[in-house]
Amino acid sequence: MDKILDLELESLHHGLLSSEKFYKKPIVVFNSASHCEFTKQLTQFQKLHKEGNIVPIALPTNEFGEQEPGDNYEICQYANIVYKVSFTVCLKTNLDHKLFKRFGKPTWNFNKYVFDSDHNFVKRLDSEIEPRKVLEYV
């Protein structure tokens, strides 16, 4: 099976992510964008993170409607100040990232890539699917 952390996700604050940090916790990676109608999902992901149900990881991209125009610093500031995000936000990337190549390119911002507690890929969910719905798959 494909493991999420084999894909070299790099956090804005902590460098390359390692599996020890997320040992036995389900992970949901989503391609975020600060100026998207689905950006409000950051609040829901933050709540799930605080509850300890999942580990959300935001992977910012700018390919859809150029809705993530900022640099890494601006993205982090926006997520932290506006949405009080304390979960991992990765460096801004594009649709050529290994995650999208391996598990399918997103169709829009906030597609969700669900991984179980052993970090095996489970399912990709579309933007419209509310974050709490991922709990059905982990």
Catalytic residue among 4, 17, 28, 36: 36
101 against 11, higher pLDDT: 101
Hey, what domains does the chain have and what are their CATH numbers? 4-12+40-137 (3.40.30.10)
Q: What is the pLDDT of residue 92?
A: 96
Averaged over 67-83, what is the pLDDT?
Answer: 94
Distance CA 68, CA 53 (A): 27
Rounded distance, CA 50 to CA 95, Å? 29
Per-residue pLDDT, 1:
42
- What share of the chain in percent tops pLDDT 90? 77
**Position 19 pLDDT exceeds 90:** no
Average pLDDT over every residue of 4-12:
71
The string of DSSP letters for the chain reads --BGGGG--EETTTEE--GGGGTT--EEEE---TTSTTTTHHHHHHHHHHHTS-EEEE--B-TTTT---S-HHHHHHHHHHHH---SEEBPPB-TTSHHHHHH---SSTT-EEEE-TT-BEEEEE-TTS-GGGGGGG-
Please indicate whether residue 76 is annotated as part of the active site. no
